[in-house]
């Protein structure tokens, strides 16, 4: 199984960029994983929030056209404990899922087209996080879930 993680725009904070790179390398010990910083269409155009959301959705979907499973991160999504997330990943792997694409949208949320394609809408909890912190949280939880499945000592 391959994992692809997409988010809008570049990670500007060097400490967060470094932490994300560290978790990416850890994940790659278990599965192929790719990060993709998707171009922010709002930077090039002056768009209304609703048009911006749809432009972002279109940009994301362009990059995940072949992905069999999309997981959309959204504050209204399903909350999973780390063990539950690990079991969900394991179930997808056992189901034969070849690639999972996680999408972290922009500040205004994700477009309807992404929600329609998502096999899972996932929440990182009820607290509000910056988008850059969400990147690290998703990477860390992905690594933790894979560590649980491989029974490595990280989870403890």
* pLDDT tens by residue, 39-64: 887 666 677 778 888 888 888 998 89
**Residues in the chain with pLDDT < 70?**
42-45, 155-156
Q: How many domains does the chain have?
A: 1
- Looking up residue 78, the CATH number of its domain turns out to be 3.40.1280.10
Residue 52, phi then psi, degrees to nearest 5: -65, -45
From residue 8, alpha-carbon distances to 30, 98, 99, 110 in Å are 25, 24, 20, 11
d(CA 148, CA 155): 6
pLDDT of res. 108: 80
Name the pTM for this structure.
0.93
What the block records as the tokens of 1 is 């199984």
pLDDT, residue 96, reads: 95
- Interacting residues of 155 by C-beta distance below 8 A, sequence separation 6+: 82, 144, 147, 148
pLDDT of residue 142: 98
- Specify the pLDDT at position 52: 84
Predicted pLDDT of residue 155? 62
Helix then strand count (H, E) for the chain reads: 6, 5
Q: Which domain holds residue 77?
A: 2-155
Q: Which of 105, 90, 103 is nearest to 149 (CA)?
A: 90
Token code pair at residue 90 = 């394991």
pLDDT of 44 reads 63
């Amino acid at each position: 199984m391959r994992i692809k993680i997409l988010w809008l725009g570049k990670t500007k904070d060097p400490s967060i960029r470094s932490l994300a790179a560290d978790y990416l390398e850890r994940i790659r010990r278990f599965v192929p994983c790719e990060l993709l910083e998707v171009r922010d269409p709002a930077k090039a155009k002056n768009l209304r929030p609703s048009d911006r959301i749809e432009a972002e959705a279109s940009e994301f979907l362009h990059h995940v056209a072949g992905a069999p499973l999309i997981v959309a991160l959204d504050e209204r999504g399903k909350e999973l404990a780390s063990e539950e997330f690990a079991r969900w990943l394991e179930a997808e792997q056992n189901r034969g899922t070849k690639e999972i694409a996680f999408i972290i949208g922009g500040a205004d949320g994700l477009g309807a087209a992404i929600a329609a394609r998502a096999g899972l809408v996932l929440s990182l909890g009820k607290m509000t996080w910056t988008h850059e912190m969400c990147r690290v949280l998703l990477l860390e939880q992905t690594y933790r879930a894979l560590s649980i499945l491989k029974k490595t000592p990280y989870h403890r």
